Amino acid sequence: MGKKGASFPGNNKLSLREIKKSFPQDGSSLAVLLDISLSVRQGEFISILGPSGCGKSTLFNVVVGLVQRDGGIISIDNREVENGLGDVAYMQQKDLLFPWRTLLQNVLLGPEISGGVHEEARSEALELMTRVGLRGFEGNYPAELSMGMRQRAALVRTLLFHKDILLLDEPFGALDAMTRSVMQHILLGLWMDYRKTILLVTHDVEEALLLSDRIYVLTARPAAVKGEVSVDIPRPRKVTDLSFVDLKGVLLDMLQGEIERVFS
């Protein structure tokens, strides 16, 4: 606990080293990512926790290649890559379901892009939809469904990209507390069964603690890794567990200073 930028050589699914990014603003430049180094092992569930506006989403955009970084190295399976384009699946707070597609057509977007929807993909989609409680809604349009159901469909679509690494950018941020807790439960179940490597961005301390193996805490903008916390609590975790409460205190302390920086 508290080790800065720890790495696990030889065993990393995804690793970022000294990622830097600034954006031009009013003639000068605004540093958003100062120095981000982190690593994720195969099948690990990692959360990135930081005050809002700290550049977490920029980090993901850099990783997927939507934003060019100024410096730093990204490696996937211990090989240096230009970016994660094509190697990662990405899910946002917005469900981004296409209103003109039925739910089934929406979740099959990934297979469709990468060369045709086969019977196999279709049955896998139906199986996953059953699992997240969307069976019977395959033919419905997104407009007919609740936010929670739409986000579940977005999760299924993300899984059906068939990538080992999932980047989840505050995927449940727009949901009410009850729906969010259902979604967390579903996500955890799917992660355990599919053994995906997950990197979750959140500003919700409890969410990070409930789900992750390890948590990286970021500083306020410009973002750097402030610290790393391992969560060695057996799952399923309860927010009332003593060790849970302890770790929550630790994380909140780490964040507190950063939140003060944001408002100063």
Residues that bind other proteins (CB under 8 A): 64-66, 85-86, 88-90, 92, 94, 96, 98-101, 109-110, 112-114, 141-144, 161
Residue 225: burial class (beta carbons within 10 Å; 0-12, 13-18, 19+): buried
Residue in the block written with tokens 């290649």: 65
How far apart are CB 115 and other proteins at their closest, in Å?
A: 11
Is the bond preceding residue 222 a cis peptide, omega within 30 degrees?
Answer: yes
Rank residues 89 and 224 by Cβ distance to other proteins and give the closer one: 89
Q: Which residues pair with 216 in a beta bridge?
A: 48, 228
**Phi and psi at residue 227, to the nearest 5°:** -175, 175
How far apart are CB 163 and other proteins at their closest, in Å?
A: 9
Rank residues 1 and 113 by Cβ distance to other proteins and give the closer one: 113
Rank residues 142 and 227 by Cβ distance to other proteins and give the closer one: 142
How far apart are CB 108 and other proteins at their closest, in Å?
A: 11
Enter the tokens of residue 253: 């302390």
Rank residues 103 and 132 by Cβ distance to other proteins and give the closer one: 103
How does strand 79-81 pair with strand 71-76?
antiparallel
How far apart are CB 167 and other proteins at their closest, in Å?
A: 9
Name the H helices within the chain: 56-64, 103-107, 109-113, 119-131, 147-159, 177-194, 205-211, 242-263
Residue 45, CA distances (Å) to 140, 217, 261 in order? 32, 14, 28
Rank residues 66 and 245 by Cβ distance to other proteins and give the closer one: 66
How far apart are CB 248 and other proteins at their closest, in Å?
A: 32
Rank residues 8 and 23 by Cβ distance to other proteins and give the closer one: 23
Compute the distance between CA of residue 54 and CA of residue 32 in angstroms, rounded to an integer: 7
Rank residues 50 and 84 by Cβ distance to other proteins and give the closer one: 84
How far apart are CB 16 and other proteins at their closest, in Å?
A: 17
Contact 90, 165 (CB under 8 A): no
How far apart are CB 95 and other proteins at their closest, in Å?
A: 10
